[in-house]
Amino acid sequence: MQRKIYDEDHEAFREVVKEFVRRYATNEKREQWERDGEVDRATMLAAGEQGLIGLSVPEEFGGAGMIQDYRFRAIVNEEVIGAGHGSLAGALGIQDDLAVPYIVHMGTQAQKEKWLPGMATGEVLGALAMTDPGAGSDLRGVTTNAKKVDGGYILNGAKTFISSGKTADIVVTFVKTGEGNRPDAFSLVIVENGMEGFEHGKKLSKMGFHGWDTAELSFTDVFIPEENLIGGVEGHGFVQLMKNLPLERMSIGVSAAAAAEAAYKWTLDYTKERMAFGQPIAGFQNTRFRLADMATTVDVMWTYVDRAMELYAESKLTAEEAAQVKFWTTEREWEVLDQGVQLHGGYGYITEYPIARAFLDARVHRIYGGTNEVMRELVSRQLIGK
Ligand SMILES: Cc1cc2nc3c(=O)[nH]c(=O)nc-3n(C[C@H](O)[C@H](O)[C@H](O)COP(=O)(O)OP(=O)(O)OC[C@H]3O[C@@H](n4cnc5c(N)ncnc54)[C@H](O)[C@@H]3O)c2cc1C
């Protein structure tokens, strides 16, 4: 089904992204990222140079100024995921959807001047660390804490599962700055690489996204200067996180739709080529019916996600609506990918094939960004007015 959200500028940008993928995201590169467990810096710098990151950074700081317009980011996701590079898409997404927004929307003028130009070029890579080893869904259970001292804070604690945690230069970190677990007991601070007492733990070995780092971080008496408090205000961390969650969750919906579309296309091509019982397997009625299901699901996913992007552009996408998008699209993604694997037969299980890698990558979409159970909890609470 034809989509309506893109105009000529978007399609011109799509060509730029396609060219970037052709030049910088080769199969050899992907294998290198998978061996290293991370996307190399040169690729991220090339992405900066070609304008694929920093899309929401205001022009005065060297970005594209697409502050509420997610369509260009969606094209990056579609093309990079569509070419079978889930890990690269993840690394680009962390920068633009999870790190940059905290500085663009909530940073002080000094924080914007200091970090945004480098974030637009890829010289400064960011990450977002909310999850403690003991608290993921229950963010108010976080115990990583920053105690006020003269001129700043002393940070102690640990974070885990942090995407791009090893490769990031700065980490927007959710910490406890007050007593109890009221929302105003938490703040966001920027932890910089090289700060004394800040250590990157091991890169975690994952089921999917093998070319994208996920790391543990630890903080032992790290001095955080006052100017690294996001927005310069203490006690706003929880509210700041809530403000960015619609974007984060919508972005997962976009990735889910892009992965489902890619899976459908890979499967369509494969089933037209693969022969069994003297005919292409696409000739079997079961295969054709499954392909019809996949194509229809992908169309509905995009219709829903495109509407979310329109609402986001008008600053009208609510946290609950974004949560609905997140849980519904990631579950449809899973079904489409599972069907794609099935129609590839044994080859669908072999990671040389993009369908197998995308299937493994997709599993975490139902877990991170808030689990799908927590998403349903948020949505249902609003329904019954709790
Ligand atoms: C690959 C990867 C990348 C990640 N990247 C980041 C990152 O960049 N930054 C970051 O901060 N975090 C990141 N995370 C962490 C992720 O957001 C958390 O794992 C997730 O929020 C779940 O938290 P948890 O693991 O503590 O699970 P738990 O909260 O312990 O949940 C365990 C189970 O209990 C269920 N559950 C919990 N509470 C409820 C409830 N109220 N109602 C019903 N069921 C409930 C959950 O749905 C889940 O099924 C990442 C995780 C992974 C695996």
Q: DSSP letter string over 281-332?
A: GGGSHHHHHHHHHHHHHHHHHHHHHHHHHHHHHTT---HHHHHHHHHHHHHH
Average confidence (pLDDT) over 31-45: 98
Torsion (CA) 103, 64, 333, 89 in degrees, nearest 10: -80
Using the predicted structure, report yes or no on whether residue 386 has a pLDDT greater than 90: no
Domains of the chain, residue spans: 8-124, 127-235, 239-383
Using the predicted structure, report yes or no on whether residue 127 has a pLDDT greater than 90: yes
Q: Is 248 a catalytic residue?
A: yes
Atom of ligand 1 nearest to the CA of 135: 26
Please list, in sequence order, all residues whose beta carbon lies within 8 angstroms of the beta carbon of residue 170, skipping any fewer than 6 positions away. 99, 115, 124, 125, 126, 127, 190, 191, 192, 193
Q: Going by CATH, does the domain composed of 127-235 fall within 2.40.110.10?
A: yes
Place of tokens 């299901």: 293
pLDDT tens digit sequence for 219-246:
999 999 999 999 999 999 999 999 999 9
CA 233 to centroid of ligand 1, rounded, Å: 27
* Structure confidence at residue 105 (pLDDT): 96
Task: At 276, give phi and psi (nearest 5°).
Answer: -155, 140
CATH topology of domain 239-383: Butyryl-CoA Dehydrogenase, subunit A; domain 3 (1.20.140)
**Ligand 1, atom 43: nearest CA belongs to which residue?**
373
Using the predicted structure, report yes or no on whether residue 249 has a pLDDT greater than 90: yes
pLDDT classification of 161: cutoffs 50, 70, 90: very high
Atom of ligand 1 nearest to the CA of 134: 26
Reported as type and span, the H/E element at residue 148 is strand 145-149
* Structure confidence at residue 201 (pLDDT): 86
Q: Give the chain's count of helices (H) and strands (E).
A: 12, 9
Question: What does the mean pLDDT of the chain come to?
Answer: 97
Reported as type and span, the H/E element at residue 357 is helix 354-362
Q: Is the pTM of this model over 0.95?
A: yes
| Residue of 137, 204, 205, 244 to mutate, ligand 1, most atoms within 8 A of C-beta | 137
The percentage of residues in the chain with a pLDDT greater than 70, rounded to a whole number, is: 100
pLDDT tens digit sequence for 46-96:
999 999 999 999 999 999 999 899 999 999 999 999 999 999 999 999 999
* Structure confidence at residue 177 (pLDDT): 98
Look up residue 137 and give its DSSP letter.
S
Reported as type and span, the H/E element at residue 155 is strand 152-163
Average confidence (pLDDT) over 3-18: 97
Instruction: Enumerate residues lining ligand 1, CB below 6 A.
Output: 128-131, 136-138, 161-163, 206, 214, 364, 367-368, 370-371, 373-374, 377
Look up residue 1 and give its DSSP letter.
-
CA 70 to centroid of ligand 1, rounded, Å: 25
- C-alpha–C-alpha distance, residues 195 and 175, integer Å: 16
Using the predicted structure, report yes or no on whether residue 138 has a pLDDT greater than 90: yes
Using the predicted structure, report yes or no on whether residue 202 has a pLDDT greater than 90: no
Q: Which of 78, 216, 234, 248 is catalytic?
A: 248
- Taking the domain 8-124, which CATH number applies? 1.10.540.10
Average confidence (pLDDT) over 264-276: 98
Using the predicted structure, report yes or no on whether residue 213 has a pLDDT greater than 90: yes
Q: Is residue 286 within 8 Å of 362, Cβ to Cβ?
A: no
Q: How many other CB atoms are found less than 10 A from the CB of residue 228?
A: 24
Please list, in sequence order, all residues whose beta carbon lies within 8 angstroms of the beta carbon of residue 172, skipping any fewer than 6 positions away. 98, 99, 102, 126, 127, 128, 129, 188, 189, 190, 230
Using the predicted structure, report yes or no on whether residue 294 has a pLDDT greater than 90: yes
Atom of ligand 1 nearest to the CA of 163: 8
Using the predicted structure, report yes or no on whether residue 142 has a pLDDT greater than 90: yes
- C-alpha–C-alpha distance, residues 28 and 30, integer Å: 5
Average confidence (pLDDT) over 121-149: 97
| Residue of 160, 161, 327, 373 to mutate, ligand 1, most atoms within 8 A of C-beta | 161
Average confidence (pLDDT) over 194-221: 96
* Fold match between domain 8-124 and domain 239-383: no
Torsion (CA) 61, 12, 303, 370 in degrees, nearest 10: -30
Reported as type and span, the H/E element at residue 112 is helix 109-121
Q: How many other CB atoms are found less than 10 A from the CB of residue 302?
A: 23
Average confidence (pLDDT) over 282-293: 98
Q: Which two tokens stand for residue 345?
A: 């037969």
Average confidence (pLDDT) over 357-374: 98
Average confidence (pLDDT) over 348-359: 98
